[in-house]
Structure 1
């Protein structure tokens, strides 16, 4: 169904994509509830991997991000610094004659860390005709690897179905080609590694692709610190060593690897609860960002407390969601890491958010027709309402140090 959405008339693909997500979510839920044997899990996991590989050839019709990735890579290959030269710079004009680009990206240098840009550059060497396909193959293989790792290490093998058939991982990786899937793989490998320095190294790799996996360090270190401080320090060493090495290499190659991330968060709004605050009371963005930072710190403190109390899955969920609740920009694919955590415990909060996030795609129908970008508030209102209901029905155990079981490992 998601493949067929690509052939819908312009102005209807957003609704079609939402319908595909709803259908896939229902199918995933039915499959999860129908599992009775390991053989069922094997077949459903195989179906999830096959779907990922089939979606590689589908053009990313829901987003311009892949075009952005490839243009950044082409700039690096051409000797331009994508961190200091905006896509729309006159210096990049010769590339615009060859490579597709999106007008909404023209004013900003790249926001992506060095390893991401290195991967973009690798794909760009295949030329405009095949670069996007190579990139989507990388993402598809990473998404498939998540399923294989989850099948081996999930707290319940049945939960593997929620990862294998996750519409978020299937569509945001298979159709959108978003690099967040690579971060999700790095986090999965970190959580399933036994050596703390390897855990830290994998999280460092994730941060070199996108910054969000950094938050996962907090519960891991807090949980280890109670039992063995040396292990916690080794995790931090592995984490920092990989990140510092990546940025040092990038800067030695002539890249000013900071980019326009600050501009992105001060100018854009999408899919975030803060949109409601901004719309209702007109609070300045700078003040919203300060409040968001406080929210993130509080959630990380709750995450550390939960990890200290051995509520590992709760701690990980809080850490994964902290940057999302603090950010003024929450695109659906930002939830890929949280979706992977469903392999370790079924969280109604993450599951509900994962189900509702695709409704924000209503914005692309108007954008496709006349280029206007006016995200509706109702998807965010629905998400906030669901979260409120869940908080009433299932108060967060992290505040009270209660856990149904000790979770020393996934």
Structure 2
């Protein structure tokens, strides 16, 4: 689950609407001094006009659910023209959902839970991955994945990147209107953009980033046996088509990082099994970062678990909880397990074990609605145990979006942002030098 929209979002969104699109962040890819404009739909000014043109005339779903923000996602209405009160109310509702309040009330259950069984015939139109608008991040196009913390250097120029990263965002759609998220919803785009800034951007120091939009299953679907597998299969179908389009159009036999979070990691696990268990793609795999979901040990893995920080052609996984917390209280139903699941420590980059806080290269505050804040070195240590990554971050502004019962799911990347960034670069270097 995305899980990071505090009250500051409301203040920033009001300022943005009154003053117009604001600065995103310095350090845009290929030009550290450039400040691309970020619009409320999550796009940047450089591609907004092209995306609007490419989307014009596309079929749209007209179902509605009162004033919920994503109830009319398919409509071609320009997001900036929506009433102020409607957008503000939408963000208030999302904040309530993200904080876990929706899970403990009948109204919350109604807001989030699809009223009937999944039916593929009711799904929104499939995305055409030849259109730039159907990519949340696309190399050469400005995106939130270009974000760089002010105290952490600059993003690599795409022309100089040594590798590619195929990134799958987590669940960023929470509404009952659809089992499968429409691609064009403005609020979904804003939340997805924030996840790119806080997660995918960790790979922009060494890789070109490709992040498809896909018809993700709505969050409540994980609780519903009647339709869950079919909805996830539809989402994976989009992921698979996006990956094949990437391979045919841009890959050019380059070294490849796979990375995702939560629902995105679930789909990447299946992608690994289908495409990387053998054959030429396995030889191009730098590493797979399957973060924020249980990855069970299996007798026969598609690729091995990474045993060292420099190993390539392998996978890592972790799920973050406060020491002593009960994973059964996790917001994401997928995350409520302990046992024989993979835990690679994202500070030491070895399976199991512990690493003290001073070895943490830097955590990044959330949310990232407009741009990143400075990294915070040494914020928390980490210890693997019972298939879970246990953390002990002290109270601090920018790190207050964990679930009250100790689920740090929203911070799985953020707590170890600089470590992920450095490790991706180390593994790419090792791949190129082997």
TM over 0.5: no
Compute the TM-score of the two structures, normalised by the length of structure 2: 0.30
> Normalized per residue, which structure has more helix?
1
- Greater RCO (Cα-Cα under 8 Å, separation 6 or more): 1
Compute the TM-score of the two structures, normalised by the length of structure 1: 0.32
> Normalized per residue, which structure has more strand?
2
